[in-house]
Amino acid sequence: MAAVAVAQETKLPELAPEPTHDELVDDKIADANVTVKIDVPGSKMFELQLSLGELVNDLRGYITDREDCCQRTCFSLQLDGVPLDHFAELRSVEGLTDGVLLKVVEEPYTIREARLHVRHVRDLTKSLDWVDAMNGLNGASMSYLNTITEGEINPKNESDFLAPKHVQISSEPLFEPLFPGRTAEANCLSRLAMSMWNPPPNPRRLRGDLLYLSIKTNEGRAFEVTASPRGFYVNKSTIDEFDPTPASVPYLSHSLVDLLSQLSPVFKKGWSMTNKKRCSLHPFERLPTNFQLFSWLAPKEEHQVDCVRAEDAYTARSTEEHIPGQTPVRELPVGSIHERLLRDRAFFKVHSDFVSAATRGAMLVVDGGVLAINPGDEPRSQMFIWSNIFFSLGFDVREHYGNYGGDAAAFVAPLLDLKGVQVYNQADVKGLHTLGTVIVDYKGFRVTAQSIIPGILEREQEQSVVYGSIDFGKTIVSHEDYDSLLEQVAKTTKQQVHKAKNSDGKEVTMYTSVETKGIQGNDKRNYVLDLLRTMPPDVNFLADSLSKDDLSLFPETMKDLHLPRTHTHKLAAHRHELVEAFCENRYLQYWKLAMKNFAEAKKELDAVEDLDEDAKKQKLMEKNTESIKEAASAVGSISTDELDIRFNPDIFSSTVDTIAEEGEIRRQKQLIVDVASFLVNEQIPAFVKECKEGSENCLDCVSMVNNLHHKGIGLSKAEITLKKNLYLEKKYLIHGCLLLSGALKWLSKIILLYFFNPDKKN
C-alpha cells in the first residue's frame, strides 16, 4: 500500500497555490472594520460599522434602508468635501478612519434619477401591500411566517399557546387565513401617476423641467407636480389647463416624500406608520428577491391604479442596461478572496437582471408584442430580437431534429443546453465564454432567450463557426484557439478527446461533442454554444438506436426493468451529479483493485527466498505499476498511469463517424452503459434505502426533487423509484403526486398552446 502511494505521488491533483503575502494582507484589510459617522440633512447623525472590503455603493444601500432617511435616492457621500466614487472600495478611500464624518449631500436630479426616485417612493408606500407579491412583480414574494406564528410567543400569555380560531379538528385546514390582510397604512396616497402633460415641451426643458406628476391625496385634493434638478414642486397645471409655473406656495423639496408630507397630513401620518411597520419586518420579508418567485397560493385581488406598473408594461427598465456587461464581468480579477467575492456578486447581479429582462421579453414575444426578424416564415419558425436578446421558440424548425424526435426533441434541447452552460460556467476557464441563456415556459410555448455574440448577425452561420459542426457531423471544423481552452473544460466535464471523420475523409480532433460550436465574436472573445451534448447520453431511453451488440452490453438486471426502452426523443442525457457520483464510485473501485493486486504480488514475492532486498524492491515496484495498470483498465480509465474517467458524448451517435479501434469503441460504449446501470442498480436503491431509514428529508415534492437531483436521478426515472418505494406510504404518495403533477404540466402545456394561441398552434 505504501508503494502504491509512492508511485502515485506525482499523479495527485494539483493543490491550490498558497496565498502570497500581499494576498493575505489584502484579505486581512478587507475583513477589517471601521466605524464612521453619517450626517444626513434633516435627520440625526448616526454611526455605522463597515467592512473595508465593501463598496461605497453598499454604504448607500445602508442609508436608503434606514427608517429616517429611506426616501433619499439622489445623493452623494463626501469626505472632507470630496465626493466618493460609488463603485470604489472603502479601503481605497484616503483618510477613512475610525470616527470620520461622512456627509450626505443632495445632488441635482436627472430624468433617470427622477424616475428612479418616483419608483422608490412608490415601492416604499406600497411596502405593506402584498399585491405585487401575489402577482409576482418587482421581485416581491409572499411570506406566511408571521401569519402562522402571529408574532413572537409570550411565555406568560396562555392565549399564545392556543390553536388559531380558523383551525378546526373536524375540517380540512383553510388557506385563506394564511394570507396577510390589508392594513389601513397600506394606502396613504390615493394616486401617484405620470401626468398627461408629459413630456415637457422644449421651452420648459430649457428651464429645467424633467417630468410632471399627477398626485391625488386621501383628502381628495389633486396636484400637478414638476420634477426639476433641484427637486419637486407644485405647479399651477390642472387636468384641463397646462400652466407649469410654480404655484403660489410651491413647497419645493428635494424628496417627493417631504413634498407630500406638506401637502397631506393623512400622508404624513400614514407614511410614518408604514415606515415604522416596514422597518419592524424581518429583512428577508422587505427585501426583493433577485429571482422572481410565483406563489400558487395567490387569491384574487381587486385591480388598482398604479402608474409605475402601467409605465413598466410598455417601457424599458434599467435591467436592460446591464445585459452587455455579462461577458466583461467574467474577466474581473480573481487574485484574492475579496476579488473573487466582488466578481461573483457582480456576475450574480448582471445575471439576475438578464433573467428579468429575458422573462419580460419572452412574454412580449408570445403575446405578439415583438416583430420577428423573419416575418415571412411560418409562426413556429420565427425568431425575434428585443433589447439585444435573441429569442427562439421550442419547435423543430426545418426538421433540424427530425431524426431525434421532432418537436419533442426541440422542446427538451434548450433545457439540456442550459445544463451544459451551467457546467461550463462552473469550469470557469479563462478566455472561454458562454451565452447568457434563459428558458421561459409561457402559454404553452418554450421560449429560449440568449445573449447575442457581437457580429454574429453580420455573417453567415457557415462563416461564423470555427469549431464543431452545423450539420450533425458531416462537416466538422476545428480551431487552435479552442483546442487549449476546451482541453481544460474536458477535464472538468469528463469529456473524452476523440477523433471524428469529415464527409471528405479528413480526421478532426474533438474535445467535446461535434454539436458543440465555437464562434469568435467581433470583440475577439471565444464563445461556445449548443452545449446540449455535454453530458453522456442516457442509453436507458435509446432502445431504437442501439444495435444487437450494444444491447449485449446491458446487464440482466436492466432487462428485468424493461430497460433500455424507447422515448419520445433521442436527446436523453444524464445529470452532472450522476457523472460525479459514478466517477467517485470508480475511484473507490480503482484503489481497492490496486491495493488487492499489490497485496497479492507482495505475498508472492515474500514467498521467494532467493531474492535479495534490492531485487525485491525492484520487483515490487514493477508489480505495483502492473497493479495500477490493471486497476485502471478494469474501471474504464483512459490512462494506464492514473484514474481518468472520460465519456465520449458522440459514441452512440449515428451521424458521427468516430475513428478508433473496435476494442476502444466497445470500451467507450460499455462505460456509458455502466453509468446507466449505476443509476438504476446503485443510486436509486441507495436513495430508497435512505428514504426508508429516514436520512433523506423528503417532506414534499420540492424536497423530493432536490434529493433526487442530488443523487443524479432525473424525474424521468421517477417511475422506477416509485415502484421501489411501494412499502413507504408517505414517500409513495409524494412520488405519485410528483408523477401526477408532471403529467398535468404536460397536458396544461398542450391545452394552453391550443386554446390561447390558435394562430400558432401549428
**Which tens digits make up the pLDDT trace of 603-653?**
877 777 676 777 777 877 887 888 888 888 888 888 888 889 999 999 998
Per-residue confidence band for 163, with pLDDT thresholds at 50, 70 and 90: low
* pLDDT at site 150: 62
* pLDDT at site 287: 76
Per-residue confidence band for 246, with pLDDT thresholds at 50, 70 and 90: very high
Judged by DSSP in three states, 399 sits in helix
Percent of residues in the chain assigned helix, strand, coil, to nearest 5: 45, 15, 40
State percent of the chain over pLDDT 70. Answer: 85
CA separation for the pair 757, 762 (Å, rounded): 10
Q: Which residue has the cell 396544461?
A: 748
* pLDDT at site 55: 84
CA separation for the pair 490, 484 (Å, rounded): 10
Q: What angle do CA 757, 759, 762 make, to 5 degrees?
A: 95
What are the distances in angstroms from CA 680 to CA 564, 570, 585, 712? 11, 19, 14, 11
Lowest pLDDT segment from 46-55, 110-119, 657-666? 46-55
Which tops the pLDDT comparison, 28 or 264?
A: 264
CA separation for the pair 537, 650 (Å, rounded): 9
Cβ neighbours around 589 below 10 Å, total = 15
- Nearest to residue 665, comparing CAs of 652, 678, 676? 652
Residue 411, C-alpha cell as written in the block: 422542446
Cβ neighbours around 78 below 10 Å, total = 15
pLDDT for 21 beyond 60: no
Judged by DSSP in three states, 234 sits in strand
Q: Are strands 526-529 and 211-216 parallel, antiparallel or unpaired?
A: unpaired
pLDDT for 761 beyond 60: no
* pLDDT at site 603: 81
Rounded to two decimals, the pTM is 0.83
Q: How many helices (H) and strands (E) does the chain have?
A: 25, 21
What are the distances in angstroms from CA 485 to CA 366, 381, 482, 489, 496? 37, 34, 5, 7, 14
Domains of the chain: 27-107 (3.10.20.90), 114-143+179-267+279-290 (3.30.2280), 322-532 (no CATH), 541-742 (no CATH)
- Nearest to residue 411, comparing CAs of 383, 435, 388, 445? 445
| Burial class of residue 728 in the structure, from the number of CB atoms within 10 Å of its CB (0-12 exposed, 13-18 middle, 19+ buried) | middle
Residue 723, C-alpha cell as written in the block: 415502484
**Which tens digits make up the pLDDT trace of 693-720?**
776 677 777 788 888 888 898 877 666 6
* pLDDT at site 722: 60
In sequence order, the β-bridge partners of residue 389 are 386, 451
Please compute the mean of the pLDDT values over residues 71-87 and round it to a whole number: 90
**Residue 162 contacts by C-beta under 8 Å, 6 or more apart in sequence?**
none
Please compute the mean of the pLDDT values over residues 154-181 and round it to a whole number: 68
What torsion, rounded to 10 degrees, do the Cα atoms 393, 398, 404, 409 define?
10
Per-residue confidence band for 141, with pLDDT thresholds at 50, 70 and 90: confident
In sequence order, the β-bridge partners of residue 214 are 193, 224
Lowest pLDDT segment from 276-285, 382-391, 440-449? 276-285
**Which tens digits make up the pLDDT trace of 231-240?**
999 999 998 9
Residue 35, C-alpha cell as written in the block: 466605524
CA separation for the pair 380, 387 (Å, rounded): 21
* pLDDT at site 128: 77
- Nearest to residue 664, comparing CAs of 630, 629, 633? 633
* pLDDT at site 118: 92
**Which tens digits make up the pLDDT trace of 472-484?**
778 899 999 999 9
Please compute the mean of the pLDDT values over residues 175-192 and round it to a whole number: 71
* pLDDT at site 643: 87
Residue 7 · residue 621 · CB < 8 Å: yes
Lowest pLDDT segment from 168-182, 332-346, 488-502, 554-568? 168-182
Chain center to CA of 676: 28
* pLDDT at site 24: 45
pLDDT for 171 beyond 70: no
Detail the DSSP E strand segments found in 377-416.
383-386, 389-393
* pLDDT at site 131: 76
pLDDT for 154 beyond 90: no
Q: What angle do CA 315, 316, 322 make, to 5 degrees?
A: 175
| Burial class of residue 3 in the structure, from the number of CB atoms within 10 Å of its CB (0-12 exposed, 13-18 middle, 19+ buried) | middle
**Residue 276 contacts by C-beta under 8 Å, 6 or more apart in sequence?**
67
The DSSP call for residue 680 is: I
State percent of the chain over pLDDT 90. Answer: 35
Per-residue confidence band for 16, with pLDDT thresholds at 50, 70 and 90: very low
The secondary structure element, H or E, covering residue 518 is strand 517-520
The secondary structure element, H or E, covering residue 268 is helix 265-280
